[in-house]
Structure 1
Amino acid sequence: MTDEKTDETVAALDALLEREKAALLAGDLSGLDGLTSEKEALILRINELGNLARGQVEALERKVGRNRDLIESAREGIRAVADRMAELRRIRQGLETYDRSGQKHRHPVRARAELEKRA
């Protein structure tokens, strides 16, 4: 059996995990900064109380796991964008080819042609 203080703390953590999920799904990564320290404080408080019902623990573990998966997906997306941007920078620097002997050659890309507007 749990007491009222434990139930309030569990409810606060549950609500925070839902806010974290909403921020992740909305792509609001800056909104996660404040949630992390609050989440850690609530988890510490729950650990100190230590009298959670099995159902409460399982529900919280599911939500924490779900959010962890969402965070990992966001990280992978950010890495993919960074890789793509690096590839685009490399392409702008020029084309790299190899000759028959295996020597690498860089062919610079011409600067963009500027159009002149005439009236």
Structure 2
Amino acid sequence: MTDNTVQVLIDRLDTLLEKERRALLVGDLDAIGGLLAQKEHLIDALNIAAPDAQHDLRPVQGKVARNQALLDGALQGIRKVATRMAAFRKIRRTLETYDESGRKLILQADVEHKVEKRA
């Protein structure tokens, strides 16, 4: 492939990385999933077109690292939310207290979720 074609692929990847960054910053997880396939396709095309063009890829390598850090942060946030939600579910089902001798007691609650209709 020509240098021009390789540069077009690099430019497309650069644009895609900017889109991915914007999606990560606003939390648009659906958009991030859609961009992943495109990013993989462009990286594969670059590997085939110019396997020795490492120096040409330095600007986008920084953007890839930046986006990876953003993605790691987003995943960490999602994990924290999941942990917090699990704690809330546990709180709704159990009551933790102490008996007269200071031992911890966990009381399980049977929670009924039903709605009563009245006329």
With the shorter chain as reference, the TM-score category is: 0.7 to 0.9
- Between 95-104 and 43-52, the greater mean CA deviation after superposition: 95-104
Instruction: Supply the distance in 2 between the matched residues of 1:30 and 1:24 (Cα, whole angstroms).
Output: 10
- Between 4-13 and 102-111, the greater mean CA deviation after superposition: 102-111
2:13 aligns to what? Answer: 13
Structure 1 gaps of 5+ residues are 112-119
Structure 2 gaps of 5+ residues are 113-119
Instruction: Supply the distance in 2 between the matched residues of 1:23 and 1:39 (Cα, whole angstroms).
Output: 14
**How far did residue 92 of structure 1 move?**
1.4
The answer to whether the Cα contact below 8 Å between 1:95 and 1:109 also exists between their aligned partners in 2 is: no
**How far did residue 34 of structure 1 move?**
1.4
Question: Which TM-score applies when normalising by structure 2?
Answer: 0.79
1:57 aligns to what? Answer: 57
2:106 aligns to what? Answer: 105
The answer to whether the Cα contact below 8 Å between 2:20 and 2:67 also exists between their aligned partners in 1 is: yes
Spell out, residue by residue over 1:45-84, the C-alpha distance to the aligned partner (whole angstroms, 9 max, x if none). 1111115361x32111111111111111010100111111
How many aligned residue pairs are there? 109
Question: Which TM-score applies when normalising by structure 1?
Answer: 0.79
The one-letter amino acid paired with 2:71 is: I
1:70 aligns to what? Answer: 70
The answer to whether the Cα contact below 8 Å between 1:93 and 1:109 also exists between their aligned partners in 2 is: yes
Compute the RMSD of aligned alpha carbons: 2.4
2:46 aligns to what? Answer: 46
